[in-house]
Amino acid sequence: MERTRVNYDYQLTKTLALLRNPGLLLASTKANGQSNVMTIGWGSVGVMWARPVFVVMVRPSRYTYEFIEESQAFTVNVPSEAMRSFVGVCGTRSGRDLDKFAAYHVATTPGQMVPAVTIDDCPMVYECRVAHFNDLIPANLRRDIEEASYGGRDYHRFYYGEILGAYAAADY
Amino acid sequence: MERTRVNYDYQLTKTLALLRNPGLLLASTKANGQSNVMTIGWGSVGVMWARPVFVVMVRPSRYTYEFIEESQAFTVNVPSEAMRSFVGVCGTRSGRDLDKFAAYHVATTPGQMVPAVTIDDCPMVYECRVAHFNDLIPANLRRDIEEASYGGRDYHRFYYGEILGAYAAADY
């Protein structure tokens, strides 16, 4: 899909609505060229250190974790309606067991600004370089949320990705 | 100003644009009834733990820090164009030296959902309860950002505020 660089203010509402449902696609790539993708339903967008940022949350158990730890980069890809079933797959299957891109014939292209692939069929992508990361602190989390989302283990790491480029299809 | 509860998807673009310039007003209140306000230019909005969140950053040196530590709540108030000079004041003067609300005759009303005041003249407010907090980790921050924004001290605490209510003026 042809995408051009945008100031994403206008598209952001749509991005956050799709984050809730069905989710966005978090892609990352290792130096050896291997890529992975997972569905994310949680995250935030804003401005930190006078830079645009996309904060994503990744549990250490996820395959994606080792990719971002290595590359310090990721892309957030906003799926089209037609990609709904792929988004479902990427929220349930691990890249350890299955090359999701290959298995579902989903084409990717290297990011323009970061060492991570973008997904060709997505009408909007954010290319991010990690500016900072920190971890969820269980003792500082409301008890009801801890129980509902963690149960004592696999607490998220927060990756604060500086948005180095956002690209959208012409009519998006 | 009369405000009604909104699903803030539509207003969010405006909120993030004003976060950059001139800034938003972060208000908080202690159990003794004392309130304070500071201007913020950094933060993010999204979804975490299946809840809407507004993440704000507060340095330990700020007067606001002790307010949020005590109340675990805050409001983010989106200023009108007419409030631009007050936003400037709240970005430069500390509440330790000056009761900014009183000095500038800025009226407030207790939040509907949280123990923190909202600013009457703001056309849009987010009422937030702290769900989680953690700190900036200097060793995990890109070096250039550390030097530009910190210089070795007063690293931000991140407060993840669950948005319990967002309220906007009818025409906002």
> What CATH number has the domain bearing residue A161?
2.30.110.10
Chain B positions in Cβ-Cβ contact with residue A19 (cut-off 8 Å): 46-47
CA dist list (Å): B131 to A50, A157, A158, B66, B160: 25, 16, 15, 17, 6
Whether B138 and chain A come into contact, CB under 8 Å, resolves to no
Average pLDDT of span B48-58: 97
Q: Which of residues 26-55 of A touch B (CB under 8 A)?
A: 41-51, 53, 55
Nearest to A132 among B13, B49, B141 (CB): B141
Chain A positions in Cβ-Cβ contact with residue B17 (cut-off 8 Å): 9
Chain B positions in Cβ-Cβ contact with residue A131 (cut-off 8 Å): 141-142, 145
Chain B positions in Cβ-Cβ contact with residue A51 (cut-off 8 Å): 145
Residue B133's closest chain A neighbor by CA? A140
Please judge whether B46 and A49 are an interchain contact, meaning their C-beta atoms are less than 8 angstroms apart. Answer: no
Beta strands, E only, chain B? 3-5, 24-29, 35-40, 43-48, 51-58, 73-78, 108-110, 117-119, 124-135, 157-169
Each residue's pLDDT expressed in tens, for chain A with a length of 172 residues: 788 888 777 788 899 999 999 999 999 999 999 999 999 999 999 999 999 999 999 999 999 999 999 999 999 999 999 999 999 999 999 999 999 999 999 999 999 999 999 999 999 999 999 999 999 999 999 999 999 999 999 999 999 999 999 999 988 8
Q: What pLDDT, in 10s, does the model give residues B56-68?
A: 999 999 999 999 9
Q: How far is A102 from chain B (nearest CA, A)?
A: 30
Whether B139 and chain A come into contact, CB under 8 Å, resolves to no
Nearest to A13 among B13, B46, B134 (CB): B13
Structural domain containing residue B66 = 3-169
- Mean pLDDT, chain B, whole residue set: 96
Average pLDDT of span B119-138: 97
Strands A124-135 and A43-48: unpaired
Q: Which of residues 79-118 of B touch A (CB under 8 A)?
A: none
Whether A139 and chain B come into contact, CB under 8 Å, resolves to no
**ipTM, interface predicted TM-score of the complex:** 0.95
Mutate to test the interface with A, among B11, B132, B144 (most CBs of A within 10 A): B132
Nearest to B140 among A55, A133, A140 (CB): A133
How far apart are the C-alpha atoms of A117 and A108, rounded to whole Å? 6
Domain count, chain B: 1
How far apart are the C-alpha atoms of B27 and A12, rounded to whole Å? 25
Neighbours of A99 (CB within 10 A): 12
